[in-house]
Copies of this chain bind each other. A is one copy, B any other.
Amino acid sequence: MWQLYQFPLCPFSRKLRLLMGEKNIAYELVREHPWEGRDEFWHLNPAGRTPVLHDAGRGVSLSDSQAICEFLEETVERNPMINGSALQRAEIRRLVALFDENLYADVSGPLLHERMKKRLVLRQPPDSRVLREAMKNAHAHLDYIDWLVDTRQWLAGPTLGLADLACAAQLSVADYLGGIDWKGHEQTRHWYSVMKSRPSFRPLLSEKMEGLPPPPHYALVDA
């Protein structure tokens, strides 16, 4: 059985959990706070990041969320999430990188630092200037996602794919941390409520980070 090292608000672990949910791959959760720098965890992943997917029985440890997703796509054929022609697959991967890197760097990463890490680890107040900037950046990203929703059936093309999962993972963390103002983004809001209603998403919505409650609308599918 796979063990997934993660913490509830890690957006990259969420992307992987959504993929494993969509592909019906069984796993158990192992709680890991990468900022604690446990030696055993650095031994599993020298990059010191969640998620890590570990199978002690087979002696296999996989890390880097995208490398793990590609591995699962190659080894578990059902419900492919990097699918279509080579050009369509390139478009899925382009958007996954846009969400994993830019949306994270501009929005969910700063929110995690200011609202989670400062509160639970550093015991400092958040920097309101950084929060305002992240929420402003969120609007620019949502504008682009609105455009994707307007012009395609799913974010990267005609079928649900890893781009949808990566985007929903980052937005769900930002939404949990109160960083998303959905007003004026009806297209993305509708797409996101469809994502939230998927069975793969349900386990994530019911989990909480201790000492850090989400806003009331967070887990509501039609909010």
Contacts and interface: CB of A to CB of B under 8 A. Distances in A.
A98 B64 contact: yes
Given A47-B101, A47-B102, A93 B74 contact: no
Contacts of A122: none
A74 B96 CA distance: 18
A63 interface: yes
B102 A90 contact: no
Interface of A: 46-47, 60, 62-64, 66-68, 70-71, 74-75, 86-87, 89-90, 93-94, 96-98, 101-102, 144
A143 B23 CA distance: 38
Contacts of A87: 60, 71
B89 A47 contact: no
